[in-house]
Amino acid sequence: MTVEHHTDTALALSLVETVSRVLGSLPGCRVTHEDGIVLTGTFTASPRARELTRAAHMQGDPVPVTVRFSNGFPDPSIVDAAENNPRGMAVKFHLPDGSTTDLVCQDWPVFPAGTPEDFRDLIAAQGAGEGPTLAFLAEHPDVAAAGEKVAAESGQPPLSWATMGFNSLNAFRLVDADGVGRYVRFRYQPEKGEHSLPVADRASAPPHYLHEGVTDELPIRYRVLAQLAHDDDQTTDASRAWPADREWADLGGVEITALDPDAERDGAVLVFDPMRLVDGIEPSDDPILRIRTHVYAESVRRRTCPR
């Protein structure tokens, strides 16, 4: 085992332990995003996608996908109408050669911290109370600024799983057939537009209206967008947005058509790993992206929940 791997594993463990303790992860369950629903569908890439990347699923032929929508807080009994519960959309693309690649996004506009250590220490400070949180934010103005953006631009419960935008936050590098690469951030953009559950309806909404209502929404359609970085845009800090004028390329559409009740049957482990990539899509050097694979593996190791 290399020193680097050992360090990553220790950092991932400290993240998982801090998050579990402060947010109250349930024993044997996913450390976060336990409350999810799995569906199936198809992704069809646009002609623009093929220009930007040689990735197998981006060449234009439809590929099957497994999609999981989730509420981010660990406790599945939190009602769907709760505010400030980060929500996720994770997609697994099934490639013609039998392998898979994942693209995991959430509804925040930026990540609330630029490094795994700052994220862990932010959560720990929040667990210690308001005073320690304010002290931490005063010492980390960049984390405070990211948190203000998250609070201002997200946190409202969506009308349905068909009306929320989700962002990869971390940057990736698309590589085309000639080997030319460019950095992007991905986004799932709902074709129905972004709509929140009206405030007046929140108290009376069924506790799990998102999951229960999902079949009424089918087919659910999302565009897969890629925001194209300029050469001098930073690609290693997910807590800072790129300038708003950066072009968004439309890479194609995800069409979600059915529930997938068997996805986790008989002990099958369903995990989405943002580092499970394919030729034509490379990771950036964002330390949060790099640690996620170790964090998710640790979460899987702790999962014993019968599903």
Q: Where are the beta strands (DSSP E) in 123-205?
A: 166-167, 172-175, 181-190
Measured from the CB of residue 200, what is the shortest distance to ligand HEM in angstroms?
29
Q: Report the C-alpha gap between 3 and 7 in whole angstroms.
A: 6
Region near ligand HEM per CB under 6 A, out of 100-108, 140-148, 149-157, 247-255? 100-108
Question: How many residues belong to the chain?
Answer: 307
Which stretch of DSSP H or E encloses residue 13?
helix 3-23
Measured from the CB of residue 137, what is the shortest distance to ligand HEM in angstroms?
18
Q: Which of 45, 272, 280, 294 binds ligand HEM (CB under 6 A)?
A: 272
Q: Is 111 in the site for ligand HEM (CB under 6 A)?
A: yes
Q: Is 33 considered catalytic here?
A: yes
Q: Render 57-113 in DSSP notation, one character per residue.
A: GGSSS-EEEEEEEEESSS-TTS-TT-TT--EEEEEEEE-TTS-EEEEEEES-SS-S-
- The catalytic residue among 5, 6, 33, 294 is 33
Q: Which of 53, 66, 70, 160 binds ligand HEM (CB under 6 A)?
A: 70
Measured from the CB of residue 148, what is the shortest distance to ligand HEM in angstroms?
18
Taking CB under 6 A as the criterion, which residues in 27-56 touch ligand HEM? 30-33, 36
Region near ligand HEM per CB under 6 A, out of 50-58, 133-141, 224-232, 299-307? 299-307
Q: Which of 222, 288, 290, 294 binds ligand HEM (CB under 6 A)?
A: 288
Q: Give whichever of 168 and 284 is closer to ligand HEM, judged by the CB atom.
A: 168
Taking CB under 6 A as the criterion, which residues in 155-184 touch ligand HEM? 168-170
Q: Report the C-alpha gap between 142 and 25 in whole angstroms.
A: 27
Q: Give whichever of 160 and 239 is closer to ligand HEM, judged by the CB atom.
A: 239
307 near 264, Cβ under 8 Å? yes
Q: Map residue 148 onto helix, strand or coil.
A: helix
Region near ligand HEM per CB under 6 A, out of 130-138, 149-157, 228-236, 290-298? 290-298
Distance from the Cα of residue 299 to its chain's centroid: 15
Helix axes 3-23, 116-128, angle to 10 degrees: 30
284 near 171, Cβ under 8 Å? yes
Q: Which of 106, 133, 235, 284 binds ligand HEM (CB under 6 A)?
A: 106
Q: Is 220 in the site for ligand HEM (CB under 6 A)?
A: no
Q: Is 92 in the site for ligand HEM (CB under 6 A)?
A: no
Q: Report the C-alpha gap between 83 and 78 in whole angstroms.
A: 10
88 near 67, Cβ under 8 Å? no
183 near 172, Cβ under 8 Å? yes
Q: Report the C-alpha gap between 6 and 80 in whole angstroms.
A: 38
Q: Which of 116, 147, 165, 253 binds ligand HEM (CB under 6 A)?
A: 116
From its phi and psi, is residue 280 left (phi > 0), alpha (psi between -120 and 50) or beta? left
Measured from the CB of residue 16, what is the shortest distance to ligand HEM in angstroms?
6
Q: Give whichever of 31 and 65 is closer to ligand HEM, judged by the CB atom.
A: 31
Query: Which residues form the catalytic set?
Result: 33
Binding site for ligand HEM (CB under 6 A): 15, 19, 30-33, 36, 68, 70, 88, 90, 104-106, 111, 116, 119, 168-170, 238, 271-272, 288, 291-292, 295-296, 299-300, 303
